[in-house]
């Protein structure tokens, strides 16, 4: 009989399940692993998704003209149904689950990009829906310890097999804003996570391969048998391999794995050495096109591909991006793998945390405001102008917030700055790049425009300042080459700041053009352009500026539509629970 998730009413939040005494005792060498059979893992032959589960795969290539379907359940509006009889579309009807998130990032303690925000928001949503959720992270030396409460040792002696020996680890437990978190600290000369940064090292592949093995070893030795293990990106894509190739044969037969891919550009391509380091071995088994062998380099292993093959379900961060990666040429070589496993692949739009990104409660704003007090937004606009010494006039403020990365459409951002200034608008930028050449280019642009009363470029990133820009700007520009989901446009909508976006990935799933969308008028919330070129950008940005000046009442209604949009974790949380419930008995 399979084990069930721990009951929340029986488990003290401060109580950490301990391993049996025989397992806690330090061992002098690597754990012994039984000889493994060479059969393929169970998830490699997935069953078709049933109608009951209400999760849909991405549309086939022949339907590329149609808007990709979301995985969330489409319910009739309340006025079209008898709400006294029909269950709420936002209430999950399945059982309570025991869920473990294995992730390299989680805001605010270890955040590099949007992945950290996603894990932070999703885990809270899953918890408030009655599930027991735990998170496993590396214990980086640059963690934000001021956000970790009651940090203490939870597992003293964890020996993780590595090469022909084992690495001794200590596992800590602490609460991060009510989230139950375990932090794995290896005691090794390799110094995996004590380097002052999260990514950017030559041995990143080995670092996160070790972390994935250590997380699974911890679950096994601590006697934890979650219903669902949810892992993220290439950094933890080895988790389903370890589960189905090693730990399943040692008795961990209950857990099922969901893998979420936040960006297909980064895949974790490596060589045969990784098999020896992690104890997977058997290169003839894994160097197979149906498993880890890279689709283009026959001498390389692709960790992200392996995660897709072995996971029970793979998601990406929007339905449109799921379609683009499988059928639109944005899978960076993984298109054949996605086609093979299309029955267990879909997209779920990310949410944002409305406890953090909400102008009604935002502690960083001079004046808080909401849908019924929208004039407060203009007080923040004046404060933003005062902060950046911009002219206080009737012009709209157009903003760009984000990484200065080629993915974000930097040549169009540069063009938009001059186009805005020439067409009666002000422009504000907040962002930086890890590429010194890109930073230098934008520093040069900043010096060129330094005397303009209508432009300010802030090269760097300041979380508090970003809140003021979201609240004070009239429009937000997101002209990405590709965009898996995008969080900036979701935040802008919440603050009544009109997004001007390119119709790719999650941008196309969340922003609907005021003039040309097929959606009802009350759902249209921004401006959209198709082609990645200057005329395309100008077509949308020009219409937005013209509406601001010529039809201010229409623009204000558009702001209200934006603020009514619900991009909290409410619907994505339900989507993920539907997926979990579908795979947990597979």
- Chain segment 9-67, per-residue pLDDT in tens: 333 333 333 333 333 333 334 343 343 333 344 444 333 333 344 444 444 443 434 44
pLDDT mean over 329-339: 96
What's the confidence (pLDDT) of residue 89? 54
CATH for the stretch 371-567: 3.40.50.2000
CATH of 92-351+571-583, one of 3.40.50.720, 3.40.50.12780, 2.170.190.11, 3.40.50.2000: 3.40.50.2000
| pTM summary value | 0.82
Per the CB < 8 A criterion, the answer to whether 440 and 468 are in contact is no
Indicate the pLDDT class of residue 168, thresholds 50, 70 and 90. very high
Indicate the pLDDT class of residue 540, thresholds 50, 70 and 90. very high
Domain parsing of the chain, residue ranges: 92-351+571-583, 371-567
Alpha carbon 84 to its chain centroid, in Å, reads 36
- Asked whether residue 84 carries a pLDDT value surpassing 90, the answer given is no
- Dihedral sign of CA atoms 223, 4, 239, 131 in order: negative
Helix (H) or strand (E) holding 502: strand 498-502
What's the confidence (pLDDT) of residue 225? 95
Indicate the pLDDT class of residue 95, thresholds 50, 70 and 90. confident
Per the CB < 8 A criterion, the answer to whether 507 and 358 are in contact is no
CA atoms within 13 A on the CB side of 470: 30
Two tokens, residue 174: 């602490």
What's the confidence (pLDDT) of residue 401? 96
Per the CB < 8 A criterion, the answer to whether 376 and 368 are in contact is yes
Per the CB < 8 A criterion, the answer to whether 119 and 105 are in contact is yes
Mean confidence (pLDDT) of the chain: 87
Question: Counting Cβ atoms within 10 Å, is residue 331 exposed (0-12), middle (13-18) or buried (19+)?
Answer: buried
Q: Which residue has the higher pLDDT, 201 or 2?
A: 201
b/e map of 436-473 (b: 16 or more CB within 10 Å)?
A: eebbeebeebeeebeeeebbbbbbeeeeebbbbbbbbb
- Chain segment 68-81, per-residue pLDDT in tens: 443 443 333 344 43
pLDDT mean over 152-174: 97
Indicate the pLDDT class of residue 573, thresholds 50, 70 and 90. very high
- Weakest-pLDDT range from 90-104, 186-200, 241-255, 335-349: 90-104
92-351+571-583 shares its CATH topology with 371-567:
yes
Residue 360 gets the label, from left (phi > 0), alpha (psi -120 to 50) or beta, of alpha
- Chain segment 392-414, per-residue pLDDT in tens: 999 999 999 999 999 999 999 99
Per the CB < 8 A criterion, the answer to whether 160 and 153 are in contact is no
Closest-CA residue to 258 (of 585, 586, 551, 583): 583
Alpha carbon 156 to its chain centroid, in Å, reads 31
């Amino acid at each position: 009989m399979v084990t069930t998730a721990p009951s929340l009413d029986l488990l003290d939040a401060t109580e950490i399940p301990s391993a049996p005494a025989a397992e806690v005792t330090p061992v002098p060498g690597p754990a012994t692993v039984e000889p493994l059979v060479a059969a393929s893992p169970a998830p490699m032959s997935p069953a078709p998704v049933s109608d009951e589960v209400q999760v849909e795969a991405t549309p086939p290539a022949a339907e590329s003209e149609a808007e990709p379907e979301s995985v969330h359940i489409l319910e009739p509006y309340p006025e079209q149904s008898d709400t006294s009889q029909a269950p709420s579309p936002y209430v999950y009807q399945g059982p309570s689950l025991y869920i473990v998130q294995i992730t390299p990032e989680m805001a605010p303690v270890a955040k590099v990009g949007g992945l950290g925000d996603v894990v932070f928001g999703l885990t809270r949503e899953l918890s408030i829906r009655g599930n027991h959720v735990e998170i496993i992270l590396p214990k980086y030396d640059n963690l934000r310890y001021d956000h970790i409460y009651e940090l203490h040792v939870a597992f003293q002696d964890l020996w993780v097999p590595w090469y022909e020996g084992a690495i001794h680890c200590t596992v800590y437990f602490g609460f991060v804003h009510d989230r139950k978190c375990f932090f794995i600290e290896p005691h090794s000369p390799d110094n995996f996570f004590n380097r002052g940064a999260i990514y950017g090292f030559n041995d990143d592949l080995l670092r996160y391969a070790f972390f994935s093995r250590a997380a699974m070893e911890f679950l096994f030795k601590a006697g934890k048998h979650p219903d669902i293990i949810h892992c993220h990106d290439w950094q933890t894509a080895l988790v389903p391999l370890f589960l189905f190739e090693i730990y399943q044969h040692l008795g961990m037969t209950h857990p099922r794995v969901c893998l979420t891919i936040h960006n297909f550009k980064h895949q974790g391509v490596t060589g045969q050495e990784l098999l020896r380091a992690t104890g997977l071995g058997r290169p003839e088994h894994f160097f197979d096109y149906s498993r880890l062998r890279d689709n283009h380099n026959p001498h390389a292993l692709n960790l992200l591909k392996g995660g897709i093959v072995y996971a029970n379900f793979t998601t990406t961060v929007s339905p449109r991006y799921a379609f683009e990666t499988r059928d639109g040429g944005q899978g960076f070589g993984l298109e054949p793998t996605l086609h093979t496993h299309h029955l267990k692949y879909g997209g779920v739009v990310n949410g944002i945390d409305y406890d953090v990104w909400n102008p009604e409660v935002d502690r960083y704003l001079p004046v808080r405001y909401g849908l019924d007090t929208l004039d407060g937004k203009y007080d923040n606009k004046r404060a933003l102008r005062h902060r950046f010494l911009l002219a206080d006039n009737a012009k709209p403020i157009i903003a760009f917030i984000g990484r200065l990365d080629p993915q974000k459409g930097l040549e169009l951002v540069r063009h938009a700055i001059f186009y805005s200034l020439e067409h009666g608008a002000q422009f504000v930028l907040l962002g930086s790049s890890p590429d010194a050449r890109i930073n230098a280019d934008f520093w040069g642009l900043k010096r060129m425009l330094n005397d303009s009363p209508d432009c300010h470029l802030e090269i760097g990133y300041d979380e508090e300042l970003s809140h003021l820009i979201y609240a004070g700007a009239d429009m937000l520009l997101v002209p990405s080459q590709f965009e898996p989901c995008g969080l900036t446009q979701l935040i802008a909508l919440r603050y009544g700041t009109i997004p001007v976006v390119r119709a790719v990935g999650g941008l196309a799933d969340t922003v609907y053009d005021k003039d040309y969308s097929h959606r009802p008028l009350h759902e249209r919330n921004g401006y959209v352009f198709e082609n990645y070129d200057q005329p395309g950008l100008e077509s949308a940005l020009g219409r937005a500026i013209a509406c601001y000046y010529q039809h201010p009442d229409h623009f204000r209604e558009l702001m209200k539509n934006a603020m009514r949009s619900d991009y909290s974790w409410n619907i994505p949380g339900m989507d993920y629970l539907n997926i979990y419930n579908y795979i947990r008995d597979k």
